[in-house]
Structure 1
Amino acid sequence: MTISEIYAGFAAREARGVSPAYERLALAVSRDREMLALLGTLPPAKRQPNLLFGVVRFLGGPVEDPAAFRDYTLGNWPAVEAEMRTRATQTNEAGRCALLLPVLAALPQPLALLEVGASAGLCLYPDRYAYRYGEHLVGAGEPVLDCAATGVAPPARLPRVVWRAGLDLNPLDVTDPADVAWLDALVWPEHVHRRARLRAAASVAAAEPPLLVRGDLVDDLPALAAQAPRGATLVVFHTSVLYQVPAPRRRAFAELARGLPGHWIANEAPDVLPYAGLPRPPGAALFNVLALDGTPLAWTRSHGQAITWFA
């Protein structure tokens, strides 16, 4: 897939109806030879729209108007390029916990959670957030995570978590203002509710910071998993992470995750972690597949806003 096709696809499948600003930017970049040539000098994993737009926001550049965005990016390319080469899209969307909750609540309790690609670890606190599935409220406090659920009954209770740990090549510190600023820059411009949700979730995590380990998802996972307390159900999970991992490494990780004790929850795009015999997705937008131990269960939206159960 060409860089132009990546940006056009992002506009059509991810940003349309979700972020008009990013839809405009992605379409403009997809047609801009100079911008595409600059992006082509970066490694393939560093060319993605979310990374480019997040870096420009982080540096204080404009993302509402394509012309202003282009002028800023071209005029400040050395700074933009440097940030894109060193940073990664570590969108730490606590809203994804609403997708995990029906599975987590049904597993043998208590749980030992281990998130792969944990970023700052905000998804390690599904027991500390509140959830609203239509008219059904689960839990109490802030943030309240809204999710449209189809085909699945909302869980009656929150899971009980006794251990939480994360593995990431570059873990972020939820108590560090600079790291939180990067997370904020990754929230799409119009998403005021997601920005407020990020702040509320960061407050929850900062009150009891998780164990975050810098490491590789294959090489370092077994040692971290071995630290989980006995008597708790180990749950290794990840959401929208494996697209950043080369395909051979993905396969090695999937084989490893299947062999660990406990359970493995994956929430990834179907072209990233494929499954045979999937039903048609419920729309033309980008959907992930929620799976437990390699068995697909539901279609999900990337920020946790909807889940459509088919299992």
Structure 2
Amino acid sequence: MEQSDKGDTMQPMTELDAASLREYYRKFALLEAAESSPIYTQWARGVAEDEVIIARLLELPTPKRQANLLFAAARHLGAGNGDYSSLREWLLKNWRPTRELMLARSTQTNEAGRCAVLLPALAQLSGPLSLIEVGASAGLCLYPDRYSYTYRSESGITRCDPVTGPSSVTLDCELRHAAPPTRVPEVAWRAGIDLNPIDIADTDQQKWLQSLIWPEHDERRARLSAAAELVAADPPRLVPGDLLDTVESLAAEAPANTQTVVFHSAVLAYVEPAVRERFAALMREREDIVWISNEGGGVLPDVLAQVSDLGVQPDGRFVLAVDGRATALTGPHGQSYEGLM
């Protein structure tokens, strides 16, 4: 359900006027893309100063004006990865199909690499696990037990493989101020929730996931292909629905004698603050559920306050929390894990 490349540090757009939309694209270039994608940095700066493209974006519903959605749709339809003038020329010629695709699709990047920062928390839980992912997209993060992991730290390299042996997918993570996990969890049951679940076995939907990956990120594209092949062989159960309306009924289906874990990553930023607060309150109330959140710094204020009290700044990273307790700062794609305890 998510896409932001630097940890969803920016909040969803709520203003409707052109000035706010231009400022959003300027901030996207500065805060989101500057260190990750020269192409998207140039494109976002170009859109911010382009009255014609801004006017066309304003005709779309507010959630559909996102930079990630616009740029992914254009690239998906063949705009290429050229400079902004090339993109602008292409958009003006192909606005109708671009608009239709933006209305039909959403930003649902599915980054399997985030399992590397979820594993330290999951590995500490006892018993077989029942996993429920909120905002699961295609469900690639529902398979932490099927991937291999390599953790790099000052003390050396630690590799962690599934009980069945090395996986066809290896996730690399830089580790600081934390001991590397030494095992993968036993997962007895898994399911996901998403407003629009993606069928990873569907070629067109998989191509859309590829389009959502930023132009320069070839390693992520290769990882997506490998993880998609692994998961397509045993697809997860994905339930269409809203998180508040669905999570408790799905949790009730978890097998007895398992530990239910509800987790999400870069999802709550796309949920209205009031709904976000209700969901967090629900998770805190459920003593039978372990709640793991991996969200941008400003998404859960209580969690961010804990980080601030430690004199630390996320600096574009996610904050990983277990049952509302901040435990680590993590790279947006699972590339790094810095313990806070």
Please classify the TM superposition score into its range, dividing by the shorter chain length.
over 0.9
Deviation at 1:12, TM superposition (A): 2.1
Q: Partner of 2:203 in structure 1?
A: 177
More displaced stretch, 84-93 vs 72-81:
72-81
Deviation at 1:62, TM superposition (A): 2.0
Q: Partner of 1:136 in structure 2?
A: 158
Would the aligned equivalents of 1:242 and 1:272 in 2 still touch at CA under 8 Å?
yes
- Secondary structure of the residue that 1:165 maps to in structure 2? strand
Letter in 2 for 1:136: T
1:20 to 17, 24, 38: 38
Q: Partner of 1:223 in structure 2?
A: 249
Q: Partner of 1:278 in structure 2?
A: 307
Letter in 2 for 1:310: L
2:63 to 40, 45, 54: 45
1:122 maps onto 2:151 in alignment: no
Task: List aligned pairs for 1:47-126, cutoff 5 A.
Answer: 47-126=65-144
Deviation at 1:106, TM superposition (A): 0.6
- What whole-Å deviation, never above 9, does each CA across 1:13-47 have from its counterpart, x for those lacking one? 22222222112212222222222222222222222
- Alpha-carbon distance in 1 for matches of 2:324, 2:149: 26
Deviation at 1:304, TM superposition (A): 1.2
Q: Which runs of 5+ in 2 are unaligned?
A: 1-14
Q: Partner of 1:267 in structure 2?
A: 294
Deviation at 1:281, TM superposition (A): 4.9
Q: Partner of 1:310 in structure 2?
A: 340
1:288 to 288, 295, 318: 318
Would the aligned equivalents of 2:314 and 2:329 in 1 still touch at CA under 8 Å?
no
Provide the alpha-carbon RMSD of the alignment. 1.5
Q: Given the two structures, how large is their TM-score scaled by the length of structure 1?
A: 0.95
Q: Partner of 1:148 in structure 2?
A: 174
- Alpha-carbon distance in 1 for matches of 2:211, 2:198: 14
Q: Given the two structures, how large is their TM-score scaled by the length of structure 2?
A: 0.87
Would the aligned equivalents of 1:22 and 1:63 in 2 still touch at CA under 8 Å?
no
1:188 and 1:272, CA in 2 relative to 1: closer, same or farther beyond 3 A? Answer: same
- Secondary structure of the residue that 2:321 maps to in structure 1? strand
1:301 maps onto 2:331 in alignment: yes
Q: Partner of 2:24 in structure 1?
A: 6
1:163 maps onto 2:185 in alignment: no
Would the aligned equivalents of 1:288 and 1:300 in 2 still touch at CA under 8 Å?
yes
Q: Partner of 1:212 in structure 2?
A: 238
Deviation at 1:282, TM superposition (A): 5.5
- Alpha-carbon distance in 2 for matches of 1:75, 1:146: 41
- Secondary structure of the residue that 2:307 maps to in structure 1? coil
1:3 and 1:301, CA in 2 relative to 1: closer, same or farther beyond 3 A? Answer: farther
After the TM superposition, which segments of 4 or more aligned residues of structure 1 sit over 4 Å from their partners? 280-284
Task: List aligned pairs for 1:190-209, cutoff 5 A.
Answer: 190-209=216-235
What is the aligned-residue identity percentage? Answer: 48
Q: Which runs of 5+ in 1 are unaligned?
A: none
Q: Partner of 2:4 in structure 1?
A: none
- Alpha-carbon distance in 2 for matches of 1:39, 1:273: 29
Would the aligned equivalents of 1:29 and 1:36 in 2 still touch at CA under 8 Å?
yes
